[in-house]
Copies of this chain bind each other. A is one copy, B any other.
Amino acid sequence: MVIPLGEDNTIMLKLYSFGPAANSMKPLLTVFEKGLDVEKHRLDPAKFEHHTDWFKAINPRGQVPALVDGDKVVTESTVICEYLEDEYPTEVALRPADSFGKAQMRIWTKWVDEYFCWCVSTIGWHRYVGNMVKSLSDAEFEEKVKAIPVIEQQVKWRRAREGFPQDMLDEEMRKIAYSVRKLDDHLADHEWLVPGQYTLADICNFAIANGMQFGFAELVNKQDTPHLVRWIEQINERPAVKQMFAQVELEKLGPRE
């Protein structure tokens, strides 16, 4: 157990996130796997806490997760994970030691960030976030939107309220079907995404894929994607994963509802 402590023995690492799902899960699971002692601040998306002034003073983009390490702030979930590997090289290494292994890991984490997470996210917003904002009055909603720093996120909140266009939902479902096939095909031949080692590639993909066996059961199931389901179950059996789910509450609006 590594405990990064300040001069007065106070914990230096603070992680701001939602519960253990999607991008918030990536650094959460990383710190649990590495046994790092981190002060965890769980923001409530239903209270729009990530768009408050106090949080935007930490991350001006108003997005979780964000890691505070002493006087430094690191944002972007995948970047935080690699930062933790760079700065806290514990016995549990979640990145391959060799250059080619690192490259394979980064191709998989890049793919999640640029493709897989977006299609799953749109459907997640369509199903859960819409309900969250439809109860607001127009004036309340506009005030919430005004506090969002990233214009593309403003657009996403508006679409969640008004309803996503059907052709967009269809296209995202096509991408999800392609994504789970790609994962299943790869995992048919490999225990982990980077052959031979459980890495950040697995953590970052698991952060998006976990729960799809319930929320997207028509696509992710033992019949159609046996290797992907095996991999999801295998990761859920890891002590760090059980510990994370036991200690950090998942939002009620999450994909497991």
Contacts and interface: CB of A to CB of B under 8 A. Distances in A.
Nearest to A115: B152
A102 interface: yes
A178 B149 CA distance: 13
Contacts of A69: 100
A251 interface: no
A102 B83 contact: yes
Given A82-B102, A86-B102, A99-B87, A107 B76 contact: yes
* Chain A interface size range: 20 to 34
A15 B108 CA distance: 21
A146 interface: no
A5 interface: no
B76 A110 contact: yes
Contacts of A82: 102-103, 106
A16 to B, nearest CB: 16
Given A79-B106, A82-B106, A106-B82, A100 B114 contact: no
Which of A75, A79, A113 has the most B CB atoms < 10 Å from its CB?
A79
Interface in A85-100: 86-87, 99-100
B110 A83 contact: no
A72 interface: yes
A74 interface: yes
A78 interface: yes
A86 B99 contact: yes
